[in-house]
Structure 1
Amino acid sequence: MPPTDPPPPPVRVFLPDGQELRGLLHARGQFPRGGWMYWVALPMWADVPETETVEPREYRVWLTAEQARPIQGVSYDQVPTHPLQRQAPTTEGTDRWAWKVQRTGPGKDGRAHRFVVHVWDCPQAPADASELDVFSALEALAVPGAVACSECSADVALGPLT
C-alpha cells in the first residue's frame, strides 16, 4: 500500500463581515520582501442545475495572514512552502486584474498628495499611468491616506486583501 500524505491542517479563516470559518491549509507562499500568502480550502455548497441539487465542494483561495490564522496546538510543519514571484501585468483578455494609481493634489489643509487606486480601465484612472499588478496596487493602498476607487469597484476587489 503506497504511503498517504497527511491531511492538510486546519486554519481559522476570518470573513469580511466578522464570521470565522475553518479551512484547510494546502500551501504557504512567501514574497521576496517577506510577505506571506496562504492557499486555503474552504468547504462550500454548490448548485448542480443538471440534477437540481446542492452538493459540497471545496473552494480554494489565497489569503493573507490577517485572513487566515493558525490554530493553537496544530502543527504546520508539513505544509509545503514556496517562494512567490510577482508577475508582470498582462494586457490579454478583458478579465485581467490590473490597476492604475492616480495622484491627486494636496488637500486644502496642505497635507501630502493623496493616492487613489483604480481598476485599469476606470474612466477616472489616468490614461498615461503604468499598469500595476495586485501586489503593487496593495502596496500603493498601504500609503497613509490612499483609497481604492468606489466608482470602478476597486474598493470591492481590493478591500478584503488590505
Structure 2
Amino acid sequence: MTTPSDDAAESAPVPVRVVLPADPLLGTEQQEVVARLWKRRQTETGWAYLVGLPSYRDLEGGGVEAAEYRVWVRAPDHVRPVDGVDYDQVATERLEPSPTSVVREVLGERRPSGWVLAKVREGRGVLHAPDCEEAPQGAPLLGVEQALNVAENPGTRLCTLCGAAQELTPLLRGFDHITDSAPDDS
C-alpha cells in the first residue's frame, strides 16, 4: 500500500474507473469505482495500468487514515475511461520494438500456417496457402494432414502461385521426384 507522497516524481494522476471483481461467496456483483491512474505500461500481452484505489490504513495509535492501494490491472478488462478526462498526459511506458532478426529480414514475415481449399465445382478444387490472393476468404483452415488427404484427390490441384505445390508435393510423393536424375538403383 502506498500513499501519494511515495512517488512524488510521477506525473499527476487522472481519474479512471476500475472494475472490481464479483465475489459469489460474498454475494457481491461486479462494481466500478473511480480510482487514480498513475501510469500505463505496454506489455507483450497488452496494456497494464497502475491505479490507486481509495483505501484506509491503521495508525500505530489505533486510529485510521485515508490511504491509497496501488495495483497493476489489465486494460481494457479492468479499467474504463471517465468521460471528459484527457489521458494523453499519463506517464506511458511503451514496449521497445523487438530487433528484426537477419532471417526475418531475408525471408520476410512468416506465412499463416495451414491451407485452404477453393472449390471449383463438384469434386474439384485448388489448395492454397491462407494468404494467397486466389484463396477464398473465410474458408476453413486445414492442417497438414487434412491438406494432404485433400491433395490426394485426383480432382484437387495445388496452387503454384502461393507455393502450395512446392510445399505439399514432396510430402505427397517423397523427395526423389525433385531431382533431375532418376534414383540410383545400384
TM-score (norm 2): 0.39
TM-score (norm 1): 0.45
Q: Greater Rg, structure 1 or structure 2? A: 2
Q: Which has the higher contact order (CA 8 A, sep 6+)?
A: 1
Higher helix share: 2
